[in-house]
């Protein structure tokens, strides 16, 4: 079963995150997920770039380190925003206080399945799920000196983009770095699975020039779950069935579809039969 995630507080689709005077806007970007992001950033003359993990216990990770960018004009350039949207490779942060040490602290967390782990919290999906899954006490530990975080939300078009803004529950942000790693609750992983589907479906809808709305997502995710359970779990196979699922929210419940899914045959054979069935 997947969670139904309520929409976050959003800025206007055509608006950029902005900060008040005295507050700094930062970009934390993943150059492993998007090797081109650094090139796009350096096209600007009003940025200050550094490796987040330099000088930390994780400095040996070198080029795997996320990059921390101070946006001196307090605005995110459009070319960088496009990379954030297409590659899902970073978040924006606002703070009045220094944040580097806190962001280094967040790089490791603990969770029940795996113990101490590296955390790509700068993935919009991961930050969104951390914010949603933590209570206010632990959320304050997550934010520390950070006042606001913005993540680009899933969209089926590059011409219209949505920002989700996540706020520190404490009015006064804390400059103190906690003594122990933040613990990731179990519900985080269920939320993450659901939100990964959200982003993937919107991305595929864009690639196939299909209209996708938030109302489509819940039923579509359930149908993709059924496909995965039947052994159809490769992206290319799932992509080919997106039009059928959007056109018929009950596609996987049709008796003839269920009969194909239940067969003991290879995934590509099921896909061929399902595509033939859809064509009539």
Domain membership flag for residue 38: yes
**170 and 238, same domain (yes or no):** no
**34 and 138, same domain (yes or no):** yes
**236 and 165, same domain (yes or no):** no
Residues whose CB falls within 8 Å of the CB of residue 73, separated by 6 or more in sequence, listed in order: 46
Residue 131's pLDDT is 93
Query: C-alpha angle 227/233/239, rounded to 5°?
Result: 80
| Cα 143 to the center of its chain, rounded Å | 17
Residue 11's pLDDT is 42
**50 and 113, same domain (yes or no):** yes
Domain membership flag for residue 208: no
Whether 121 and 143 have beta carbons less than 8 Å apart is answered as: no
d(CA 89, CA 123): 6
Structural domain span for residue 164: 24-186
**97 and 171, same domain (yes or no):** yes
**97 and 178, same domain (yes or no):** yes
Tell me how many domains the chain contains. 2
Could you tell me the CA-to-CA distances from 195 to 125, 153, 154 in Å, in that order? 6, 10, 9
**119 and 66, same domain (yes or no):** yes
Residue 100's pLDDT is 96
Domain membership flag for residue 17: no
**166 and 224, same domain (yes or no):** no
For residue 67, the tally of other CB atoms under 10 A from its CB is: 20
Question: What residue spans of 11-158 are helical by DSSP H?
Answer: 37-41, 78-87, 100-105, 124-133, 136-143
pLDDT tens for each residue of the chain, 280 residues long: 444 445 444 444 446 687 888 899 999 999 999 999 999 999 887 788 999 999 999 999 988 999 999 988 778 888 898 899 889 999 999 999 999 999 999 999 999 888 999 999 999 999 999 999 999 889 989 999 999 999 988 776 655 677 888 999 887 777 888 889 999 999 999 999 988 998 888 888 888 888 777 667 778 888 999 999 999 999 999 999 998 898 888 899 999 999 999 999 999 999 999 988 877 6
Domain membership flag for residue 259: yes
Domain membership flag for residue 40: yes
Residue 46's pLDDT is 74
Domain membership flag for residue 92: yes
């Amino acid at each position: 079963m997947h969670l139904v995630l309520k929409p976050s507080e959003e800025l206007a689709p055509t608006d950029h995150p902005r900060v008040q005077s005295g507050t700094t806007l930062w970009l934390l970007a993943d150059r492993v997920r998007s090797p081109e992001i650094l090139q796009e950033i350096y096209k600007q003359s009003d940025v200050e770039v550094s490796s987040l993990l330099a000088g930390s216990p994780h400095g040996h990770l070198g080029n795997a380190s996320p990059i921390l960018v101070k946006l001196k004009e307090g605005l995110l350039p459009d070319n960088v925003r496009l990379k954030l949207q297409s590659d899902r490779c970073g978040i924006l942060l606002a703070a009045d206080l220094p944040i580097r040490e806190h962001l280094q602290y967040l790089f490791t967390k603990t969770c029940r399945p795996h113990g101490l782990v590296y955390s790509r919290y700068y993935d919009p999906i991961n930050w969104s799920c951390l914010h949603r899954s933590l209570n206010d006490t632990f959320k304050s530990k997550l934010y520390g000196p950070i006042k606001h975080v913005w993540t680009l939300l899933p969209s089926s078009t590059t011409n219209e983009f949505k920002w989700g803004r996540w706020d520190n529950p404490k009015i006064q942000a804390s400059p103190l770095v906690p003594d122990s790693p933040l613990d990731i609750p179990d519900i985080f992983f269920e939320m993450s699975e659901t939100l990964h589907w959200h982003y993937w479906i919107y991305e595929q809808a864009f690639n196939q020039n299909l209209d996708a709305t938030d109302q489509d997502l819940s039923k579509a995710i359930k149908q993709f779950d059924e496909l995965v359970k039947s052994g159809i779990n490769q992206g290319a196979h799932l992509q080919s069935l997106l039009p059928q699922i959007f056109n018929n929210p009950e596609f996987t419940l049709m008796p003839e579809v269920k009969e194909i899914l239940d067969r003991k045959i290879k995934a590509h054979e099921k896909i061929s039969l399902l595509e033939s069935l859809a064509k009539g």
